[in-house]
Chain A
């Protein structure tokens, strides 16, 4: 490690941290040791991050942020439906994660549970939920998705569950180039959006409501 060089950007600190955990298989003993290794005073470290968790969280949020800005800068983005936007985001994210796969695996492994939200990806959750809410609103406005009282607010949670599922799938994917994950994304996101779309069930509920209010349903039901 270049001992003489003074670290200046948070990105370099992130890289140094990733390098450390992957080489040693564990966190540095203390912020003091880590800062010293990188020719920093401990207090300088705190200018960037509050703790090691803070570094990990920031690596995750940066990846997520980068995936988002990548897809949003694609020329076709504005032409995509909500469904396609969600698909595009996941493809971009998985592609980016590939470059940091070892770290991602380390980070998830050391943060406990996969299905609940590990602390280190709470930042990601916030970013993702903002994104999900955006595309859901777009979908409802365009009529692509069904607006269901009580449920619409939960749509973003359904997408977050997919996020966890896809991430989990990818960590276990052994196919060349993680091609199976592509299939998992195509399938999973489509299934989720199929549920969020207008379906015959909506029509049925609507009809039931109508009959209740206007048809004198109770009387009619008696044969």
Chain B
């Protein structure tokens, strides 16, 4: 892998990067339309691929939160065309690393020692990137360790990055400036939490303890003594990332086993802990040769307050949707329907959101659910595409908690789909106070 030479850090430098991308994307359109002059049958796939490549290249040079945004965009398979998704998926575990001396420097800064003095062995070339940091292999007393190191200045640049990513993201997603504005602070908050490695190690230990009884789920041991504000040391888990795992010859049984572990992990957290690992992209998981799911990143945790949890899950786990009045009042509670909506708008959003909730809740409606079913996902994507085109949705709707909860659940569904897993969906059920 080519070592990254520099992170463009100042705002002007980063802006320049975005401007460059803008030009390239513009160029791709010109290329596309001039080709189309001669070949009218040309479809947009190539154009999308060109754009995605340029955007990805530009984002991965930026590192930090911009890369995070790339990762986030890639989660929403249902919004972005496939070509974007394929390129953005690269960012999940393939960004170029930083210089060796800076790694040594980070260690001496926090431990007063070089990594070579702390560990028996330390590989100065990183094995992979973790979007705001990179992972190195080390060993101590015969134990193989994974050491995650954060890039300096990430926290500082998040806010300025987000400001710049905004117009870019609007264009990419075809949304209005106003629409995302409401949610930016939520995203910023989560991203800033992700740069806090002290918090991450605390959560990692808490969550791995809480989830330890879920079958076929494994967590690395964390070493707080060898961790700091910018460094996290944990056990090295042997395993493959999902994409690589799927390329090996797999039995349906193994896929189901991994899928079940994934399902249980998420539903246990949502319903028992009411806080969830909100970053379900394939780069955060490793699958061991015997089909166990390893969770390696607790940077992004979304806590679900009762005033969100109760109304949201009462829609999916009770027969509320049959009752139009109750449903509308719940939609109001979650700001999916607003105070100043006209009766016609209320009816419209009621229909659209009811369909969404029904789609989302489908896996919960039966004891087992087959996530390999293409038609279910086609329905999801079609729904997503349909609402993306509706002018009514040019405006922001829904409480801010939806961003990460949706990302989590659709991320989960997508991963289960890729696994082609059949899972029991009644293992961990929502706890709803029905007396209300």
A binding-site residues for B, Cβ under 8 Å = 74-76, 79-80, 83-85, 87-88, 91, 95, 177, 179-180, 182-183, 186-187, 190-191, 193-194
Contact = CB atoms under 8 A, between A and B. Distances in A.
A183 B104 contact: no
A23 to B, nearest CB: 28
Contact of B9 (A80, A91, A183): A183
B109 interface: yes
Given A75-B116, A76-B116, A183-B153, 12 more contacts: A74-B114, A74-B116, A85-B101, A91-B104, A177-B109, A182-B152, A183-B9, A183-B152, A190-B5, A191-B6, A193-B5, A194-B5
Contacts of A87: 99-102
Contacts of B356: none
B104 A180 contact: no
Nearest to B114: A74
A91 B105 contact: yes
Contact of A186 (B6, B108, B109, B116): B6
Contact of A76 (B7, B100, B102, B108): B100
Contacts of A180: 153
A76 B105 CA distance: 13
A91 B102 contact: yes
User: Which 8 pairs from chain A and chain B are nearest by CB?
Assistant: A88-B101, A87-B101, A190-B6, A91-B105, A190-B5, A75-B116, A183-B153, A182-B152
Contacts of B124: 76, 79
A95 B110 CA distance: 12
B98 interface: yes
B101 A84 contact: yes
A80 B105 CA distance: 14
Interface string B138-165: 0000000000000011000000000000
Nearest to B5: A190
Contacts of B114: 74-75
B99 A83 contact: yes
Contacts of B7: 183, 186-187
A95 B124 CA distance: 20
Interface in B92-121: 98-102, 104-105, 108-109, 114, 116
Nearest to A184: B9
Nearest to A91: B105
14 contacts: A74-B116, A76-B124, A87-B99, A87-B102, A91-B108, A95-B108, A95-B109, A179-B153, A182-B102, A182-B153, A183-B153, A187-B7, A191-B6, A194-B5
B96 to A, nearest CB: 13
Contacts of B109: 95, 177
B100 A186 contact: no
A80 B153 contact: no
Nearest to A87: B101
A27 to B, nearest CB: 34
B4 to A, nearest CB: 9
Contacts of B102: 87, 91, 182, 186
A190 to B, nearest CB: 4
Nearest to B102: A186
Nearest to A75: B116
Given A74-B116, A76-B116, A186-B98, A88 B9 contact: no
A145 to B, nearest CB: 14
A190 B61 CA distance: 14
A187 B9 contact: yes
Given A75-B116, A187-B9, A88 B104 contact: yes
Nearest to B13: A187
Contacts of A74: 104, 114, 116
A186 B152 CA distance: 10
Given A74-B116, A187-B6, A190-B5, A91 B152 contact: no
A139 to B, nearest CB: 14
Contacts of A194: 5-6
A6 B153 CA distance: 48
Contacts of B6: 186-187, 190-191, 194
Contacts of B100: 76, 80, 84, 87-88
Contacts of B101: 80, 84-85, 87-88, 91
A211 B82 CA distance: 47
Given A76-B124, A187-B9, A191-B6, A182 B116 contact: no
A75 B98 CA distance: 19
A191 B6 CA distance: 8
Interface string B397-426: 000000000000000000000000000000
Nearest to A79: B124
B410 to A, nearest CB: 36
Contact of B104 (A76, A83, A177, A179): A76
